[in-house]
Chains A and B, each alone.
Chain A
């Protein structure tokens, strides 16, 4: 079955079927957490997708956009659009709610630009965060993963509030064999990362983070899972500083585990 013959979202199950996906790995995962990228590829292939990776990709432009440097953000965003426009893939999938949300903000970045606005809208429409792609598009709720232990989920803000990801990651986690899932107290509270905020106001960032760390410690888990490597670096950096035994794990890593 060819990737061009069906429309995204119309299928009951992708397992055993074929869909072409272009991976947007994000610069953070590329440089600091490659196992998230490797795991994403593994999970997507397992559910029947063909995965391509365009090596010209760099960053979605979020750091500049969120700090107020739009003149620097726009060329980087335009480059992202150009690269992914060339792809024949059915969907662009990323293991990050935050970077996916940034791509969804492209139309805002090019508001009033008759050339780039429609191109930004077209790219935004086919860009998905990993868990939403699996559950909403492919209708896959069980990726055949297994992991032994007690774990919890942190709702990363942009995935939760910009992409409305709440049930999708939980559904996938609940179907991981051997994993005992517990809800985190105030799972939807910010971890204090906030991009450049984390280094502009590091004391406030860590004060917010400590609320999250307390909740994780009270949950009595072996691992805390989330959908964004940035939040996990923030949470993991503090857990490690506190010599905590709790591990941080990206959703893709959990889902690839067997």
Chain B
């Protein structure tokens, strides 16, 4: 299975750069998403106000998360939902596996959920003997290919149409075709049958409304509607930060999320689920379980600088806008959440030991901050994480180099001398191979500006 590690980001990226299929697919998809987002944002006169409003709501939620969660839980329970608190991924998975086992489930259908990717739920369910079927088309494709998602909202963004045709040919026995409609209808036919047979449906959550106990999920394919309504049991998994105070708060988020993600004004489906069915004959599952996952989030919440990373609504806009993501794609990051926001939240969720390279996987250009619908200052967070990583995990040579650098910059005499030495060194030695492999190096001037000023 193609599971790369964050620890080898540099190597992963080099391999990605050598993959012309990947780069072609990425270029098409990220530029299409980016242009659509731009047009969708421009179509609203008050885009900037909406961003500020959304951020203010998120800031309020994050400052009073305990209160809003209690309110949500009370209202959801009073309407028949069962609430489960999970401290970490293992706890969430064991709660869900137990629920599935108690109901004698054999087949579980899932709709797209980054939170269950974060907990690696599929592996846990399969280990417990369950057949798990991803029902989002992109997720279905990567499940067939045995790969992790490479984008927050478009998990198979790295695959070309031709690669998908070959995959369907190999896995589903379908004749090779590049007709998208035929590929899609084959997936649809296979999945319909699984929906009908499934005992349990597992979904994520986009927003959870405290005042009503409602969970809200947006999508385009209709598979979430089926996942949450056909099987007897629905299990919804959400990070604790997903709660919003009021139903009315959805207004701003439902304007921002689809526009930022795919450039749509509205997603095709929006599911509002408030508790279980009230009486026999009503539609919907008999049991609704909501799993509230912490998994490092309360630690992020406690820190005044990094708290804002929990405002993320998982739209994926920062990935599409990021020049690094555009070149290397999501798998190179070796983390469930890739791109700029992934480089920010992965070290916080997993610890910096295994993900120390990710905050450096950025030119700090700020394109991510510009497109973020909730105004997360991603470059600032990357700098904050770098400041935690560098003194502890930085290479010895780098740490020493910056100590010397500071000495030189503190003393004009050393600075002047350093320049003289630099001139000599640069003339005779190829000092910076990392630079000169792809670019010519500008020679050091024979006289510095300092010297020219004296001559004046």
A residues contacting B by CB (< 8 A) are 25, 27, 29-34, 37-38, 53, 55-56, 58-59, 61, 63-73, 75-76, 79, 108, 157-158, 160-162, 188-190, 192-209, 211, 233-234, 236-238, 240-241
Interface pair B360/A197, CB less than 8 Å apart? yes
Return chain B residues, CB-CB under 8 Å to A108: 380
| Bound-state Cα–Cα, A37 to B445, Å | 12
Return chain A residues, CB-CB under 8 Å to B386: 66-68
Interface pair A208/B449, CB less than 8 Å apart? no
Interface pair B363/A37, CB less than 8 Å apart? no
Return chain B residues, CB-CB under 8 Å to A32: 442-445
Return chain B residues, CB-CB under 8 Å to A238: 438-440
Nearest CB in chain A: distance from B410 CB, A:
6
**Given A32-B444, A34-B449, A197-B363: A206 in contact with B438 (beta carbons within 8 A):** yes
Q: With an 8 A cutoff between CB atoms, is B430 at the interface? A: no
**Nearest residue, chain B, Cβ from A36:** B449
Q: With an 8 A cutoff between CB atoms, is B391 at the interface? A: yes
Interface pair B366/A161, CB less than 8 Å apart? yes
Majority-rule SS of B interface residues: helix
Interface pair B448/A34, CB less than 8 Å apart? yes
| Bound-state Cα–Cα, A31 to B174, Å | 63
Interface pair B402/A69, CB less than 8 Å apart? yes
**Nearest residue, chain A, Cβ from B399:** A69
| 4 further contact pairs, Cβ within 8 A, besides A59-B409, A63-B405, A237-B438 | A58-B408, A157-B363, A190-B365, A208-B326
Interface pair B366/A199, CB less than 8 Å apart? no
Return chain B residues, CB-CB under 8 Å to A56: 412
Nearest CB in chain A: distance from B376 CB, A:
14
Return chain A residues, CB-CB under 8 Å to B13: 201, 203-204
Interface pair B452/A38, CB less than 8 Å apart? yes
Interface pair B390/A234, CB less than 8 Å apart? no
Nearest CB in chain B: distance from A155 CB, A:
10
Within the complex, which residue of B390, B440, B442, B454 is in contact with A67, where a contact is CB–CB below 8 Å?
B390
Q: With an 8 A cutoff between CB atoms, is B441 at the interface? A: yes
Q: With an 8 A cutoff between CB atoms, is B235 at the interface? A: no
Within the complex, which residue of B361, B369, B422, B453 is in contact with A161, where a contact is CB–CB below 8 Å?
B369
**Given A204-B17, A204-B328: A72 in contact with B444 (beta carbons within 8 A):** no
- Count chain B residues whose beta carbon lies closer than 8 angstroms to a beta carbon of A: 62
Interface pair B444/A37, CB less than 8 Å apart? no
What are 10 sample pairs from A and B whose C-beta atoms fall under 8 A apart?
A32-B442, A65-B383, A69-B394, A76-B406, A197-B363, A203-B13, A204-B361, A208-B323, A237-B438, A238-B438
Return chain A residues, CB-CB under 8 Å to B453: 53, 55
| Bound-state Cα–Cα, A33 to B449, Å | 8
Return chain A residues, CB-CB under 8 Å to B432: 199
**Nearest residue, chain B, Cβ from A37:** B449
**1/0 contact trace for B417-456 toward A, CB 8 Å?**
0010010000000001011011111111101111011100
Within the complex, which residue of A58, A68, A190 is in contact with B367, where a contact is CB–CB below 8 Å?
A190
Within the complex, which residue of B327, B408, B443 is in contact with A207, where a contact is CB–CB below 8 Å?
B327
Q: Please provide the 8 A-B residue pairs with the shortest distance between their CB atoms, ordered closest to farther.
A: A194-B363, A68-B390, A237-B439, A68-B386, A190-B365, A206-B438, A161-B366, A157-B365
| Bound-state Cα–Cα, A34 to B390, Å | 32
Return chain A residues, CB-CB under 8 Å to B380: 108
Within the complex, which residue of A37, A69, A157 is in contact with B452, where a contact is CB–CB below 8 Å?
A37
B residues contacting A by CB (< 8 A) are 10, 13-14, 17, 323-324, 326-328, 359-367, 369-370, 380, 383, 385-391, 394, 398-399, 402-403, 405-406, 408-410, 412, 415, 419, 422, 432, 434-435, 437-445, 447-450, 452-454
Return chain B residues, CB-CB under 8 Å to A30: 419, 448-450
| Bound-state Cα–Cα, A195 to B405, Å | 15
| Bound-state Cα–Cα, A176 to B326, Å | 35
Return chain B residues, CB-CB under 8 Å to A27: 409, 415
Nearest CB in chain B: distance from A205 CB, A:
7
Interface pair A206/B439, CB less than 8 Å apart? yes
Interface pair B363/A208, CB less than 8 Å apart? yes
| Bound-state Cα–Cα, A199 to B437, Å | 10
Return chain B residues, CB-CB under 8 Å to A69: 387, 390-391, 394, 399, 402, 406
Return chain A residues, CB-CB under 8 Å to B383: 65-66, 68
Nearest CB in chain B: distance from A105 CB, A:
9
Interface pair B447/A34, CB less than 8 Å apart? yes
Within the complex, which residue of B323, B366, B412 is in contact with A158, where a contact is CB–CB below 8 Å?
B366
| Bound-state Cα–Cα, A31 to B446, Å | 9
**Nearest residue, chain A, Cβ from B13:** A204
**Nearest residue, chain A, Cβ from B441:** A237
Interface pair A31/B402, CB less than 8 Å apart? no
| Bound-state Cα–Cα, A162 to B359, Å | 19
**Given A202-B434, A208-B324, A237-B441: A76 in contact with B360 (beta carbons within 8 A):** no
| Bound-state Cα–Cα, A49 to B14, Å | 49
**Nearest residue, chain B, Cβ from A59:** B409
Interface pair A31/B448, CB less than 8 Å apart? yes
| Bound-state Cα–Cα, A66 to B447, Å | 28
**Nearest residue, chain B, Cβ from A26:** B449
Return chain A residues, CB-CB under 8 Å to B360: 196-197, 200-201
Interface pair A64/B406, CB less than 8 Å apart? yes
Return chain B residues, CB-CB under 8 Å to A193: 363
Return chain B residues, CB-CB under 8 Å to A25: 449
Return chain A residues, CB-CB under 8 Å to B17: 203-204, 207
Return chain B residues, CB-CB under 8 Å to A205: 363, 438
Return chain B residues, CB-CB under 8 Å to A162: 366
Interface pair B366/A34, CB less than 8 Å apart? no
Within the complex, which residue of A64, A75, A197, A206 is in contact with B362, where a contact is CB–CB below 8 Å?
A197
